[in-house]
A = this chain, B = another copy of it.
Amino acid sequence: MSRSYIFVPLVLFVLVSCLPAKAQYVNVMPYPQKVDLQDKHYFIAKDFTIALSGDYRPRLAAQATRFLRRLDEQTGLFFQQFQVDGSGYKEANLKIRVEKKGEVLPDMKEAYELTIDDGGLHIIADTDIGAIRALETLLQLVEVREGRYAFPYVQIQDAPRFSWRGLMLDVARHFMPLEVIYRNLDAMAALKLNVLHLHLSDDQGFRIATETYPELTELGSDGLFYTKAELQKIINYAAERGIRVVPEIDVPGHATAILVSHPELGSADTTYQIQRYAGIFDPTLDPTNEAVYEFLENLFEEVAAIFPDPYFHIGGDENMGRHWDANEKIQAFMQARGIDTNHELQTYFNIRIEKILADQNKITMGWEEIMTPDMPKSALIHSWRGAWEGVTPKASLYAAARSGYDAILSNGYYLDLMMTAEEHYLMDPAPASVDLDDEARSHILGGEMCMWSELVTEHTIDSRLWPRGAAIAERLWSAEEVNDVDEMYRRLSIVNQYLERLHLKHVSEPKRILRQLAAGHDPKPLETLLEVVEPMKGYTRNPGGTMYASYSPFTLWADAATADARVARVFNEQVEAFLKGEALHESLKTQLITWEANHDQVVPIIEDSPVLKQISNLSANLSEAAKSGRVALEAIVAQRELPAEWVARARKQLVEARANGGRTELQMLEGVERLLDQVDYRRSAQD
């Protein structure tokens, strides 16, 4: 081996800067369909004005004013204009023309054209919703040129690839106050998402106050629920941003919170308590009890009236049917009607529910389990199962589409599983390569990212949603061909910072937790460690669902950690690049030395902060692994051999370092392992 190494000192871990975009890319996410960029700029001045024409009242006027305030905040220019109206169209810097008011309903019209040139800024859209999407693009285009804020000259034609681009929030397992919903609707709008799906009931809580059954929240919510007026506020706030809101009441399983006040509707002769743990539980509505249908008809009628959206999500997932098996009356019912399996019984239930909703002019949607032969083709199938559940990802999505059901995808978009943005990004609901005829393809409406809240609170949820959610938002809006992972990560870092403008807590809350854990010490050494760990993935952090209860503290080490540890990812990539000959030795060494020295700085913090004892090994493992990496790196550079026994010991330590600490896992071990591989490879090549 005879590579030569040039020792150019590099700063490996620069923060993302507001540098100009790569030549061919603008810094916009999700990426527009067609971008024609020029190397000229339109400078933003204090007298910047906006004027509107067409049918823009009141939504576009309000959102354009909001745009003006956000641009003012971004530039600090103290604009003279403080409220947008239709006057002064010809003289305005930004002219927006819309044809008609858009309906915030399925298939809303979101296309727009944005032109920036000598004539100023122009937005043209069929509906005000398209113009609102254009304003979000525009804000992301702000650059600095010649010491001033500017927009690049550009021509953009844009429209979404999929019409259903959603975020499901589980507000049942941990309740989310209004301001959490608001700021995340702002984030959704920034990323051109258009459906907020609220999972309003589950074993851990029932979150809508109703007049028909006030006892549902009185007994089943710990006092944490939305009033109708509050839901109305959420719906209005969303509609202002061109976002639909779809409610979900999960039945017949996941229904413990309902049964707390209505045990007579359950399948077991017992009483129920609000569930404090996570998992799949037995309490289930009794599908053989007519009172259940009467109850749901009344309940759905009241809930359905709150939400203008035509869709109503009935859940329908994960019912094990154990209470059905144990109930003689239910068994007798099944026998009498020739219902052989629990699955068929649930089908019987679903079909009846579908009819109730159809009578209320609602389209039923449900998790993929509702797709049974008798389910009308008008229902929408929500595909969620995949590798974790032992089935082929997207199998139900394609089966549904081929059978003539509309369908959306959530498998691959579960943000609570703590997977990387890359994994989410590369999950395409309907790639061209999949064998689907035009008809079937047209049934795939899009997808929804899911934020189940067993392990998140109102404070930590943002850091689980963002920035990874932006990668999914791009997958659902942009063309299939927009799939360059490096470029996605480049823009994702910019979006990550951009989203903080909206007062999301995805950056600040992890830092706040670290400050508390640091117990008065400088949190820097903790941050160095945190940057290279990720929370345990999938369902492994909370074994059996009982390590944490809903009231447990979620302000611990793992709650500060986020998925997709950028520093570790960059390190691993740089090791690969170094091994291919890139001159990265000095910066890798600097990084490894920092990690090697870190544990000694963490130890005194742990002494003053016993809650951190659980990361003691994790921290030691980082330093040990970094030391191995540093020694291997130096040997590679010096073209010096290392004894096989040393490498074996180092590998053994790496294996031990894979154990979790504080419910998180080190993510930079792969890079160290590559360095050890290289040491072994050199030795065997010389043997």
Contacts and interface: CB of A to CB of B under 8 A. Distances in A.
Interface in A119-162: 144, 147-149
Contact of A611 (B75, B515, B516): B75
Contacts of A149: 610
Interface string A393-423: 0000000000000000000000000000000
Interface stretch (A359-367, A470-478, A497-505, A667-675): A497-505
A501 B519 CA distance: 11
A491 to B, nearest CB: 13
Contacts of A147: 607, 610, 613
Interface stretch (A14-22, A187-195, A639-647): A14-22
Given A147-B607, A179-B179, A508-B508, A72 B15 contact: no
A610 B46 CA distance: 13
Nearest to A549: B82
B507 A144 contact: no
Nearest to A14: B522
A144 B15 contact: no
A147 B519 CA distance: 13
A73 B608 contact: no
B76 A521 contact: no
Interface string A519-539: 111100000000000000000
A107 B369 CA distance: 61
Interface string A592-611: 00000000000000011111
A569 B16 CA distance: 34
A376 interface: no
Contacts of A72: 552-553
Nearest to A65: B551
A149 to B, nearest CB: 6
A276 interface: yes
Contacts of A19: 520
A92 interface: no
A296 interface: no
B519 A18 contact: yes
Task: State how many copies of this chain the complex holds.
Answer: 2
Contacts of A519: 17-18, 144
A609 B15 CA distance: 15
Contacts of A613: 147
A459 interface: yes
Given A500-B516, A520-B17, A551 B73 contact: no
Interface in A525-580: 549, 551-553, 555-556
Given A459-B503, A519-B18, A520-B18, A144 B610 contact: yes
B520 A16 contact: yes
A69 interface: yes
B512 A551 contact: no
Contacts of A9: none
Nearest to A550: B82
Nearest to A503: B459
Contacts of A15: 518, 520-522
A508 to B, nearest CB: 4
Contact of A82 (B276, B522, B611): B276
A515 B500 contact: yes
A177 interface: yes
B76 A551 contact: no
A607 B148 CA distance: 9
A459 B521 CA distance: 26
A511 interface: yes
Nearest to A494: B520
A515 B503 contact: no
A148 B612 CA distance: 11
A78 interface: yes
A229 interface: yes
A82 B69 CA distance: 45
A519 B498 CA distance: 10
Interface in A1-38: 15-19
Contacts of A516: 497, 500-501
Contacts of A556: 76
Contacts of A511: 508, 511
A139 to B, nearest CB: 13
Contacts of A610: 75-76, 144, 147-149
B148 A553 contact: no
Contact of A608 (B18, B177, B459, B507): B18
The interface centre, meaning the residue of A76, A518, A522 with most chain B CB atoms within 10 A of its CB, is A76
Contact of A17 (B76, B148, B507, B521): B521
24 contacts: A15-B522, A17-B520, A18-B609, A19-B520, A73-B555, A75-B610, A76-B556, A78-B553, A144-B608, A144-B610, A147-B607, A147-B610, A147-B613, A178-B178, A178-B179, A227-B229, A459-B503, A494-B520, A497-B516, A500-B512, A500-B515, A501-B516, A507-B512, A507-B515
Given A75-B611, A177-B179, A178-B179, 11 more contacts: A15-B518, A15-B520, A15-B521, A18-B608, A75-B610, A82-B549, A82-B551, A144-B608, A149-B610, A507-B512, A508-B511
Interface of A: 15-19, 69, 72-76, 78, 82, 144, 147-149, 177-179, 227, 229, 276, 459, 494, 497, 500-501, 503, 507-508, 511-512, 515-516, 518-522, 549, 551-553, 555-556, 607-611, 613
7 tightest Cβ-Cβ pairs between the two chains A and B: A76-B611, A17-B520, A73-B553, A508-B508, A18-B520, A18-B519, A179-B179
